[in-house]
Amino acid sequence: MKQDTLRVVITGASSGIGAATAIAFARQGAHLVLGARGREGLEDIAGRCRQAGGQAQVQLVDVTDAAAVAAFAADARDTLGGIDLWFSDVGIGVVGRYLDVPMTDHRHVVETNLVSHMNEAHAVLPVFVAQGHGIWVNMISLGGYMTSPYAAAYAASKFGLRGFSAALRGEMHDHPRIHICDVYPTFVDTPAIYHAGNYTGARLTYPPGALAPEKVADAVVKLARHPRATTVIGMPETVLKLGQFANPLAAMLMNRFMKKWSKRAEPVRDTTGTMYTPPVAASGIHGGQRRAGGQRNTALAVGAAVVGVAIAARLLSRR
């Protein structure tokens, strides 16, 4: 293996952003170990990585199992001869009013989105410390800053991930070549929308202007050469952070919107999606709902809305 060949591990690599990122790294000749629950999806993406010019091996892993993740990390280190970048990309969601969603599902979302990333960091950071360098990329989302009514467990997990990364950054301060990098995309058109649990009674859809997974993948690949603590994709970082001031009012407005939307959208039965079992076939990268040409306008509209709500919230708080 050439000294400058990137050695990359990606979890949640069988579809969506993880899959797109694996292929993007493969185009640069990276050597990859890909992990997920579903073999069909992993083999599909590994094949695409090889066609793109990289090397890819796959391994089934349940990232909510700390012992399984530790074994996966050790195998990946031995296979690659070290790990330069680890991308924690596993994430699930369940949509519905908090009281309508079983606690079993809420708990599973938090275990998958938060505890699994903690398992991964616990497994790979000792590898980084031993070799003296490494980049841990933590996939969060817009939900790490903005509250999400009808996705309470998802919001809890994403806010938790942001705090977890901040704590790790402090602990890794004395290791200047070890980087903790957070990625915050807005809505991304992936198959995740079909995998989510749904207790709204309505068919889930992405808003217009959802990002292409490849746009997020390119940002993650860039972190391998130029690591930074925070990467926001889909709107300016300052706008996203300003949205923290708007959370109380934004949550109330979003709750009203979701109530109206769930009554008007196409009705469907409640489902747990693929929260507990992997998809029976390869899911691919895209969700198929992205509308060309609307991305920039939608991002600007969302940004303007966040700023407007933030200003309103600040004014209301002074009364």
Q: What is the pLDDT of residues 243-256, one digit of tens each?
A: 666 556 555 665 56
Stretch 289-306: mean pLDDT, rounded? 48
CA distances in angstroms from 40 to 10, 37, 282, 318, 319, listed in the order given: 16, 9, 5, 55, 57
The DSSP-derived string for 179-225 is EEEEEEES-B-STHHHHSEE-SSB---PPTTPBPHHHHHHHHHHHHH
- Find all residues with CB under 8 Å of 132, minimum gap 6, and list them: 175, 177
pLDDT of residue 97: 93
Per-residue pLDDT at 261 exceeds 60 = no
CA distances in angstroms from 210 to 21, 75, 295, listed in the order given: 17, 36, 6
**Helix count and strand count (H, E) for the chain:** 11, 9
Task: Give the right CATH number for 7-317 from 1.50.10.10, 3.40.190.10, 3.40.50.720, 3.90.220.20.
Answer: 3.40.50.720
pLDDT of residue 87: 98
Q: Is 281 helix (H, G, I), strand (E, B) or coil?
A: coil
Identify whether the C-beta of residue 67 lies closer than 8 Å to the C-beta of residue 75: no
Query: Would you kindly state where each structural domain of the chain is located, as residue ranges?
Result: 7-317
Confidence of residue 260 (pLDDT cuts 50, 70, 90): low
Identify whether the C-beta of residue 65 lies closer than 8 Å to the C-beta of residue 90: no
Tens digit of pLDDT for each residue in 5-46?
999 999 999 999 999 999 999 999 999 999 999 999 999 999
Identify whether the C-beta of residue 219 lies closer than 8 Å to the C-beta of residue 183: yes
Tens digit of pLDDT for each residue in 113-166?
999 999 999 999 999 999 999 999 999 998 898 877 889 999 999 999 999 999
Per-residue pLDDT at 103 exceeds 70 = yes
What pTM was computed for the model? 0.84
Per-residue pLDDT at 294 exceeds 90 = no
Which of the residue ranges 123-132, 227-236, 271-280 has the most confident prediction, judged by mean pLDDT? 123-132
Judge residue 269's burial from the number of C-beta atoms within 10 Å of its C-beta, 0-12 exposed, 13-18 middle, 19 or more buried.
exposed
pLDDT of residue 72: 98
Which residue, 210, 197, 76, 229, is CA-closest to 142? 210
- Find all residues with CB under 8 Å of 4, minimum gap 6, and list them: none
Catalytically annotated residues: 154
Which residue, 1, 112, 129, 10, is CA-closest to 65? 112
pLDDT of residue 265: 67
How many Cα neighbours within 13 Å face the side chain of 267?
1
For 31, phi then psi, to 5°, come to -105, 125
The first and second tokens of residue 84, run together, are 């330069």
Stretch 58-65: mean pLDDT, rounded? 97
Per-residue pLDDT at 74 exceeds 80 = yes
Stretch 98-119: mean pLDDT, rounded? 97
pLDDT of residue 196: 86
Tens digit of pLDDT for each residue in 170-229?
999 999 999 999 999 998 999 888 888 999 888 888 877 889 999 999 999 999 999 999
Confidence of residue 315 (pLDDT cuts 50, 70, 90): very low
